[in-house]
Structure 1
Amino acid sequence: MSQSPEIGRITTDIPARMDRLPWARWHWMIVIGLGTVWILDGLEVTIVGNLSDVLKDDKTGLGLSSSDVGMAGAIYVAGACLGALFFGQLTDRFGRKKLFILTLLVYLVGTVLTAFAMNPMFYFVCRFITGTGIGGEYAAINSAIDELIPAKYRGRIDITINGSFWVGAAIGSLLTIPLTDPTVVDPEVGWRFCFALGAILGVGVLFVRKNVPESPRWLFIHGKEDEGERIVRGIEERVEREDDVTLEDVDDTITIRQRRTISMAEIAHTVFTLYPKRTILCLSLFAGQAFLYNAFFFTYGDTLTTFLDVKQSGWYIAIFAVSNFVGALALGPLFDRVGRIPMISGTYIVSGVLLAVAGVMLGDLTATTLTIFGAVVFFFASAGASSAYLTASEVFPMETRALCIAFFYAVGTAIGGIAGPLLFGRLIDDATDAKDITQIAVGYFIGAALMIGAGIVAIFLGVRAEGETLEDIAKPLTAVDA
Structure 2
Amino acid sequence: MSGRVETGRITTDIPARLDRLRWSRWHWTVLIGLGTVWILDGLEVTIVGSMSDALKPDRTGLGMSAFDIGLAGAVYVAGACLGALVFGQLTDRFGRKRLFMITLGVYLVGTVLTAFSMNPMWYFACRFITGTGIGGEYAAINSAIDELIPARYRGRVDIAINGSFWVGAAGGSLLTVLLLDKSVIPAELGWRLAFGLGALLAVGVLFVRRAVPESPRWLFIHGREQEAERIVSEIEETVRRETGQELGTVSGTITVRQRKAIGIGLIARTVFTMYPRRTILCFSLFVGQAFLYNAFFFTYGDTLTTFLDVGQTGWYLAVFAASNFLGALLLSPLFDRVGRVRMISGTYVVSGLLLAGTGLVLGSVSAVSLTVMGSIIFFFASAGASAAYLTASEVFPMETRALCIAFFYAIGTAVGGITGPLLFGSLIDHASAHHDISAIAIGYFIGAALMVGGGVVEAVLGVHAEGRSLEDIARPLTAEDEDSDTVDTGRAGAPALGTA
Q: TM above 0.5, one fold?
A: yes
Cα shift at 1:197: 0.8
Structure 1: how far apart are the matches of 2:427 and 2:122?
25
Alignment partners' CA distance in 1, 2:430 and 2:62: 22
Does residue 286 (structure 1) correspond to residue 278 (structure 2)? The answer is: no
Give the Cα separation in 1 of the matches to 2:436 and 2:62: 27
Instruction: Give the counterpart letter for 2:453 in structure 1.
Output: G
CA distance change for structure 1 residues 67 and 377 in 2, over 3 Å: closer, same or farther? Answer: farther
1:25-424 residue pairs with structure 2 within 5 A?
Answer: 25-424=25-424
Structure 1 distance, partners of 2:394, 2:317, is 32
The whole-number CA distance in structure 2 between the counterparts of 1:109 and 1:241 is 38
When residues 328 and 156 of structure 1 are mapped into structure 2, their CA distance, relative to the original with a 3 A threshold, is same
Letter in 2 for 1:456: V
What root-mean-square deviation, in Å, do the aligned CA atoms of Structure 1 and Structure 2 show?
1.6
1:251 alignment partner, SS class: coil
Contact 2:319 2:375 in 1 (8 A): yes
Larger mean CA deviation between 150-159 and 179-188 belongs to: 179-188
1:455 aligns with 2:455: yes
For 1:419-440, what per-residue CA distance to the aligned partner results, in whole angstroms no more than 9, with x for missing partners?
Answer: 1122223333333333332222
Query: What is the CA deviation profile of residues 179-226 of structure 1, one whole-angstrom value per residue up to 9, with x for unaligned ones?
Result: 111111111211111111111111111011000100000000000001
2:471 aligns with 471
The code of the aligned residue for 1:468 comes to: R
Name the residue aligned to 2:437.
437
1:65 CA drift (Å): 4.6
Cα distance in 2 between the residues matched to 1:257 and 1:293:
42
| C-alpha separation in 1, matches of 2:177 and 2:93 | 43
SS in 2 for 1:299: helix
Structure 2 SS opposite 1:7: strand
Displacement after TM superposition at 1:455 (Å): 0.7
Q: Where does the alignment leave 5 or more consecutive residues of structure 2 unmatched?
A: 482-495
Q: Distance in 1 between matches of 2:43 and 2:23?
A: 29
- State the shift of 1:64 in Å: 4.1
- TM-fit CA distance, 1:63: 4.2
Contact persistence 2:74–2:418 (CA under 8 A): yes
Which is worse superposed, 78-87 or 304-313? 304-313
CA apart distance, 1:162: 0.4
Structure 1 residue runs of 5 or longer lacking an equivalent are none
Q: Matched residue of 2:256: which SS?
A: strand
Residue 11 of structure 1 aligns to a residue in which SS?
strand
* Aligned-partner SS, 2:361: helix
Question: C-alpha separation between the residues in 1 aligned to 2:423 and 2:2?
Answer: 42
Aligned-partner SS, 1:8? strand
Alignment-derived partner of residue 426 in structure 2: 426
Distance 1:382 1:299, change over 3 A: same
Contact 1:335-1:466 at 8 Å conserved across structures: yes
Counterpart-to-counterpart distance in 1, 2:475 and 2:276? 15
Query: Are the equivalent residues in 2 in contact too, given 1:67–1:425 (CA < 8 A)?
Result: no
Partner SS for 1:258: strand
Cα offset for 1:310? Answer: 1.4
**C-alpha separation in 2, matches of 1:130 and 1:439:** 34
CA distance in 1, matches of 2:405, 2:3: 22
Query: Residues 188, 434 of structure 1: CA spacing in aligned structure 2 closer, same or farther, 3 A cutoff?
Result: farther
Classify 1:439/1:56 alpha carbon distance in 2 versus 1 (closer, same or farther; 3 Å): farther
1:373/1:52 CA distance change after superposition, 3 Å: farther
- Counterparts of 1:122 and 1:449, CA distance in 2: 39
Amino acid at match of 1:265: G
The Cα of 1:295 is off from its aligned counterpart by 4.3
Q: Distance in 1 between matches of 2:338 and 2:101?
A: 35
Task: Please give the per-residue CA displacement for 1:407-463, whole angstroms capped at 9, x wherever unaligned.
Answer: 111122212232112222333333333333222222212111111111111010000
Structure 1 residue 66: Cα displacement: 4.4
Q: How far 1:113 sits from its partner (Å)?
A: 1.7
Size of the aligned set, in residue pairs, is 482
Distance 1:441 1:2 in 2: 56
Secondary structure, aligned partner of 2:424? helix
Distance 1:386 1:230 in 2: 33
How far 1:467 sits from its partner (Å)?
A: 0.4
SS at structure 1 position matched to 2:116: coil
1:139 maps to a residue whose letter is A
What is the CA–CA distance in structure 1 between the aligned matches of 2:428 and 2:407, rounded to whole Å?
A: 30
Structure 1 letter corresponding to 2:329: L
Distance in 2, matches of 1:60 and 1:19, equals: 54
TM-score under structure 2 normalisation? 0.93
Per-residue Cα deviation, 1:322-357 (whole angstroms, up to 9, x for no partner): 100000011100000000001000111111111111
Report the CA distance between 1:112 and its aligned residue.
Answer: 1.4
Q: Report the Cα distance in structure 2 between the residues aligned to 1:295 and 1:280, rounded to whole angstroms.
A: 22
- In the TM superposition, residue 58 of structure 1 has moved relative to its aligned partner by 4.6
3-state DSSP class of the match of 1:287?
Answer: helix
Output the CA distance in 2 between the equivalents of 1:277 and 1:406: 18
C-alpha distance in 2, partners of 1:382/1:53?
28
Letter in 2 for 1:386: S
Determine whether 1:13 maps to 2:5.
no
Q: What's the secondary structure of 1:197's corresponding residue?
A: helix
**Which amino acid in the other structure matches residue 419 of structure 1?**
T
Is contact 1:73-1:421 (8 Å) kept? Answer: no
- Match of 1:5, as an amino acid? V
- State the SS of the aligned residue for 2:296: helix
The equivalent residue for 2:486 is none
